[in-house]
Amino acid sequence: MGDDLIERLRAAVGPQHLLVDPDLRAPYETDWTGRWSGRARAVVRPADAHQLADVLRICLAAGAPAIAQGGNTGLVGGGVPRGGGSEVVVSLARLDGIGPVDGSSGDVVVGAGATLARVQEAARAAGWDVGVDLAARDSATIGGMVATNAGGVHVLRYGGMVEQVIGLEAVTMAGEVLGRVPALRKDNSGYHWPALLAGSEGTLAVVTRIHLKLVPHLPDRVVALLGLPDLDALLAVAGRLRRGLPSLRALEVMFADGVTLTHEYNRLPLPLPGPPPVVLLVEVADAAGTRSRLFDALGALVADDPDVLATAVADDELGARRLWRTREDHTEAINAAGIPHKLDVTLPTANLAPFADEVRALVTSLAPAARLVLFGHVGDGNLHVNLLGLVPDDDSVDHAVLDLVARLGGSISAEHGIGVAKRADLPLTRTGAEIATMRAIKAALDPTGRLNPGVIF
């Protein structure tokens, strides 16, 4: 691999879209948390799937590894270089087209580089919405969200990213195009590419276009923060809300230490005094004109609940956004406090409270100086375990936490993926036969292992 690779890539995408200067490469070389970083041989920004296919073929011929990157909001080190300058980062940012929203079938075709916020805006203007929503919406791209099978805050109502994909188009390392866009709602003609590629973390093929299923836009929402004494009480209340509120869209959990840290960071007044030990964020949403009905229905369920210590409710959009900041600002507040080790786990509901207790005790015993911040999508059994104050390259506490997750019947990744961060832990929750089968699938699509090497395995 020498200058020949660079010259061929430059010819493929044009000089202004081949970045070799260290200052220009830098934003693509370090992840959002600052924990994962490496040096790229170059950053290439193809304009479309044809240029992308050329780029991948050129990399393959030169033996250069290629790493696809969307909005660089991943949290497991799967979208940035980790070698010492051999990898080519392929940015999908220019594949950002958004097609017309089809109002009769409720769908849209978008480029992999379109950000979630832009697609939400286009969908809402037509009375529709994207089923997945998450705090990184302004930067996260639809292609990256498919590649990681992103979850976010509305999974309990609409499912994760894979459930929003009608079809997709993707390019293999050999430059072959897989899939079909626009796709058909029903198509059982062989293997289903969205099911295979969603969550494959850019290791099998690079997603270029996505045919997205939309959901009705629900402009009326009511958001409440409920203060609770402990996680058991929260889960009991959450069960009653699930049963009693068909319009339920989000159930998110926070703990007093994380709420305090977040409000020290965003400098907004605490929404609940204390704060209480555990806070549940509830969102209900429905069609225009339903706001007061939503407010009454939620109020009727929580007003006399013996477990609820305190309540803050917003039935206007500004107030709803403000209450959401207590939850969504957690990520930035944690990052502002140091470079975190971020774990993202799911537990069976019955083991959420035991896990929360045991993980605190475990971290205290292994790393007494570390700071643990838990929060997450409790409606999906998903907790984000953030550890501050650990040595960046020492994963021993991470492994112990994931071992605990496995013993309690959980998964070591709920929605962030495996990346490079958790590949050593994959055998905790996947059998040898499963991992061997995954490797065989990888070898079928990328026989020389040049596409995002070192991720997942």
Pairing of the two strands 84-91 and 66-69 = parallel
Residue type, 188: N
Residue 313, beta-bridge partner list: 224
Contact 310, 276 (CB under 8 A): yes
- Which residues, 356 to 395, sit near ligand MLT by CB under 6 A? 384
* Nearest distance, CB of residue 412 and ligand MLT, angstroms: 14
Q: Is 157 in the site for ligand MLT (CB under 6 A)?
A: no
| Residue with smaller CB distance to ligand MLT, 305 or 395 | 395
227's tokens: 């203060």
Contact 420, 395 (CB under 8 A): no
Closest-by-Cβ residue to ligand MLT is 331
Q: Is 339 in the site for ligand MLT (CB under 6 A)?
A: no
| Residue with smaller CB distance to ligand MLT, 225 or 294 | 225
Contact 112, 210 (CB under 8 A): yes
* Nearest distance, CB of residue 225 and ligand MLT, angstroms: 16
| Residue with smaller CB distance to ligand MLT, 73 or 208 | 73
* Nearest distance, CB of residue 389 and ligand MLT, angstroms: 17
Q: Is 148 in the site for ligand MLT (CB under 6 A)?
A: no
* Nearest distance, CB of residue 405 and ligand MLT, angstroms: 15
Helix (H) or strand (E) holding 383: strand 382-388
- Which residues, 276 to 335, sit near ligand MLT by CB under 6 A? 331
Assess whether the previous peptide bond of 182 is cis (omega < 30° from 0): yes
Helix intervals (H) in 252-395: 256-266, 291-302, 317-328, 330-336, 352-366
| Residue with smaller CB distance to ligand MLT, 165 or 383 | 383
* Nearest distance, CB of residue 78 and ligand MLT, angstroms: 14
Pairing of the two strands 39-44 and 84-91 = parallel
| Residue with smaller CB distance to ligand MLT, 59 or 155 | 155
| Residue with smaller CB distance to ligand MLT, 120 or 331 | 331
* Nearest distance, CB of residue 262 and ligand MLT, angstroms: 11
* Nearest distance, CB of residue 393 and ligand MLT, angstroms: 20
Helix (H) or strand (E) holding 250: strand 248-255
| Residue with smaller CB distance to ligand MLT, 326 or 331 | 331
* Nearest distance, CB of residue 151 and ligand MLT, angstroms: 7
Phi, psi of 282 (to 5 degrees): -120, 130
Q: Is 408 in the site for ligand MLT (CB under 6 A)?
A: no
Assess whether the previous peptide bond of 275 is cis (omega < 30° from 0): yes
Q: Is 262 in the site for ligand MLT (CB under 6 A)?
A: no
Return the axis-axis angle of helices 3-13 and 49-62, rounded to nearest 10°. 170
Distance CA(208)–CA(67), nearest Å, equals 14
Site string for ligand MLT, 45-64 (x = CB under 6 A): --------------------
Q: Is 135 in the site for ligand MLT (CB under 6 A)?
A: yes
Distance CA(333)–CA(329), nearest Å, equals 6
Q: Is 218 in the site for ligand MLT (CB under 6 A)?
A: no
User: Among 311, 332, 331, which residue's Cα sits nearest to residue 323?
Assistant: 311
Residue 165, beta-bridge partner list: 212
Q: Interface with ligand MLT by CB under 6 A: which residues?
A: 135, 331, 384
